[in-house]
Homo-oligomer: A and B are copies of this chain.
Amino acid sequence: MDWSIQEIAKLAGTTSRTLRHYDDIGLLAPARIASNGYRHYDADSLVRLQRILLLRELGLGLPAIAEVLDREDRAPHALRGHLEWLRREQHRLTRQIASVEHTIDALEGGERLMAEQMFDGFDHTEYKEEVEQRWGVDAYARSDAWWRSMSADEKRDWQGRMSQLSADWIAASERGVDPAGNEAQALAQRHFDWLRGIPGTPGGGAEGPSREYFLGLAEMYVADERFGANYGGVDGARFVRDAMTAYAERNL
């Protein structure tokens, strides 16, 4: 049994290019190389090739395949590791499918999800420098880890609440309501609760943000146009600050 490269490729159901590649990377050398440079394969080559192709169909990478073939007793171990990776991939796909379905629904419902999505990472990383300077690198790191641990769906949910809160702030501000009145104070309460959901903020746990952090944020909204933009500009930011300040004086 002595086959040319094309012959063994057909026998195994692959291509000659693949065989040259396997030769190049040292995964499967020909049984012999004739004086004219032609590669020739034998039955042992075929067996090894069949095993390579089997493992490849299971999704293993070529380096992993080489390892398994070198130490066949470790095949179950390698396959179990591979299995874990496959399962993780499947879960990732499951989440992605859910996200895409959700996005399609939202877009067809006429929601401007894309704009809403703008808060993805925005407000979060927007805080980075300020948070680090005022509350320490550690606080930011915790907050960052929290954010990154969320799935796309969870992020969108969180962003949706924030986006709604922001829109309500702007609406109230434009209607000229009293920052210290009931309506604005209810918004301030929502703002407080919303912040409570962010670990990494001082007092970001169940007890909620600290008085200093809450007041500091309020001032930041006015001082920094990037923050203020989320509340309808300088005027909106001033309104939010006044309402938050009043809330803090009464409750914190």
Give Cα A89 to B94, complex, Å: 10
A residues 72-121 in Cβ contact with B at 8 Å: 72, 75-76, 79-80, 82-83, 86-87, 89-90, 93-94, 96-97, 99-101, 103-104, 107-108, 114-115, 117-118, 120-121
Q: Using Cβ atoms and an 8 Å threshold, which residues of chain B touch A46?
A: 118, 122
Q: How large is the interface on A (under 10, 10 to 19, 20 to 34, 35 or more residues)?
A: 35 or more
Q: Using Cβ atoms and an 8 Å threshold, which residues of chain B touch A93?
A: 86, 89-90, 93
The reply to whether B125 and A12 form a contact with Cβ atoms under 8 Å apart is yes
Q: Using Cβ atoms and an 8 Å threshold, which residues of chain B touch A183?
A: none
**Known pairs A93-B93, A128-B10; A104 contacts B83 (CB<8 A):** yes
The reply to whether A47 and B118 form a contact with Cβ atoms under 8 Å apart is yes
Q: Which of A25-33, A52-60, A203-211 lies at the interface?
A: A52-60
The reply to whether A80 and B97 form a contact with Cβ atoms under 8 Å apart is no
The reply to whether B103 and A58 form a contact with Cβ atoms under 8 Å apart is yes
Q: Using Cβ atoms and an 8 Å threshold, which residues of chain B touch A79?
A: 100, 103-104, 107
User: How far is the CB of A162 from the nearest CB of chain B, in Å?
Assistant: 14
Interface residues of A (CB under 8 A from B): 1, 10-13, 43, 46-47, 50-51, 53-54, 57-59, 72, 75-76, 79-80, 82-83, 86-87, 89-90, 93-94, 96-97, 99-101, 103-104, 107-108, 114-115, 117-118, 120-122, 124-126, 128, 152, 225-226, 229
